[in-house]
Amino acid sequence: MTAEKISGGVCSDRIKTRPINVGGVTIGGDAPVRVQSMTCTKTGDAEATLGQIRELATAGAELVRVTVNDEAAAEALHRIVAESKTPLVADIHFNHKLALSSLEAGIAKLRINPGNIGNKDKVREVAAAAADKGVPIRIGVNGGSLHKRYDELHGADPAGALVQCALDEIETLAAVGFHDVAVSLKSSEPREVVEACRRFARLSDVPQHLGVTEAGTLLAGTSRSVAAMSVLLAEGIGDTVRISLAADPVQEVLAAFHMLSALGLRQGFARVVACPTCGRVEVDVVKLAARVEELAKDLPPERVVAVMGCIVNGPGEAKAADLGIAAGKTKVAIYRMGELHRTIAKEDLEEVLIAEIERLK
């Protein structure tokens, strides 16, 4: 996906937050909802990590998070930052020294988990170093790893505990003059995420990174993430998203763009309409639609391609698309811009599809 394809589509009634700048990419304010993902390579393996960062960027990721969990990762970060064209976020748990090393390596943003980073002095030390470099911090509050001082509140009001923790950490950083922050209020329970993010949005103009943690595999994880995020985004809440999946992280990026594009918040991909199939089906629609999706991924986002499984109900949808296919027993009808363009033999379909999709560019 090209930069032009992902640049537009700001929803006018989004709740305006205080913007932050992450290596030239604005989060919050008037900026479009940003899509991010996270590498799953060992960060210490700079070659593999850079390879995955490039894959994610090609899919459209505007920010990529990498874990900085040991000395090897902190060391490799120097080369990774130098060679990455995409702003990088260092994910820090437990060891605030690794946050300081990441800043030295030139990271564009830090994500710290206040539940495990240690005492407030360590948080303040990181804040001072980040302020020095003009690097924002995401306060990543996670329901599964809240500090024990929130245990009681979490038991009584889980969403309230996430909000309180985020506010407390913002306050800790504000007390040392650090305001360049974003927050995430995550839980593996989508309804808790909705509740926490809604409440937080009423109380603060700090930009929000939306996510459901440990969401699951491709299908379950996307569904659970979209269930929470689409509610929030439709209410104007959320400045950046990550759909966390136990899958190839490129899928996280694609899923996020599909979600944002369905909500009219970003221009995503050309739309591939595919019939759900039924007993009338004359072609393998599932396989064909996947192939068309692949071929259509570089088309302008306003294009619509329809893959219909039969000539009984297929032609209606096929005519409504820029390019439509309705399969018969031995032949396939090809529609272009609402008109029947030609009828071809089924065995020629792949070749014709490639040529017809090329013509839509």
Residues in contact with ligand SF4 by the rule CB under 6 A: 275-278, 280-281, 308-310, 312-314
What's the closest the beta carbon of residue 326 comes to ligand SF4, in angstroms? 7
Nearest to ligand SF4 of 229, 308 (CB atom): 308
Scan for tokens 């899928």, then name that residue. 251
**Alpha-carbon distances of 179 from 71, 99, 164, 190, rounded to whole Å:** 28, 17, 17, 28
Nearest to ligand SF4 of 80, 321 (CB atom): 321
Nearest to ligand SF4 of 282, 356 (CB atom): 282
Angle at 165 (CA atoms; ends 124, 128), nearest 5 degrees = 15
What's the closest the beta carbon of residue 268 comes to ligand SF4, in angstroms? 24
Residues 276/267, Cβ–Cβ less than 8 Å: no
What's the closest the beta carbon of residue 276 comes to ligand SF4, in angstroms? 5
What's the closest the beta carbon of residue 314 comes to ligand SF4, in angstroms? 4
**In DSSP terms, which residues pair with 271 in a beta bridge?**
304
Nearest to ligand SF4 of 301, 309 (CB atom): 309
| Cβ neighbours of residue 122 closer than 8 Å, sequence gap 6 or more | 96
Nearest to ligand SF4 of 114, 314 (CB atom): 314
Residues 52/80, Cβ–Cβ less than 8 Å: no
**Alpha-carbon distances of 114 from 119, 141, 166, 194, 270, rounded to whole Å:** 9, 7, 9, 21, 40
Nearest to ligand SF4 of 247, 281 (CB atom): 281
What's the closest the beta carbon of residue 358 comes to ligand SF4, in angstroms? 25
Phi, psi dihedrals of residue 5, rounded to the nearest 5° = -70, -20
What's the closest the beta carbon of residue 335 comes to ligand SF4, in angstroms? 13
- Write 324-330 long-range contacts (CB < 8 A, 24+): 325/288, 325/292, 325/349, 325/353, 327/281, 327/282, 327/283, 327/285, 328/282, 329/282
Angle at 59 (CA atoms; ends 252, 22), nearest 5 degrees = 80
d(CA 52, CA 58): 10
Q: Number of helices and strands (H, E) in the chain?
A: 12, 15
What's the closest the beta carbon of residue 292 comes to ligand SF4, in angstroms? 15
Nearest to ligand SF4 of 241, 288 (CB atom): 288
**How is 195-253 classified by DSSP, letter by letter?**
HHHHHHHHH--S-EEE--TT--SHHHHHHHHHHHHHHHHHTT--SEE----SS-HHHHH
Nearest to ligand SF4 of 168, 293 (CB atom): 293
Phi-psi region for residue 48, left (φ > 0), alpha (ψ -120 to 50) or beta?
Answer: alpha
What's the closest the beta carbon of residue 329 comes to ligand SF4, in angstroms? 12
What's the closest the beta carbon of residue 319 comes to ligand SF4, in angstroms? 13
Q: Which of 104, 109, 95, 100 is nearest to 138 (CA)?
A: 109
What's the closest the beta carbon of residue 308 comes to ligand SF4, in angstroms? 4
Nearest to ligand SF4 of 116, 313 (CB atom): 313
Nearest to ligand SF4 of 282, 322 (CB atom): 282
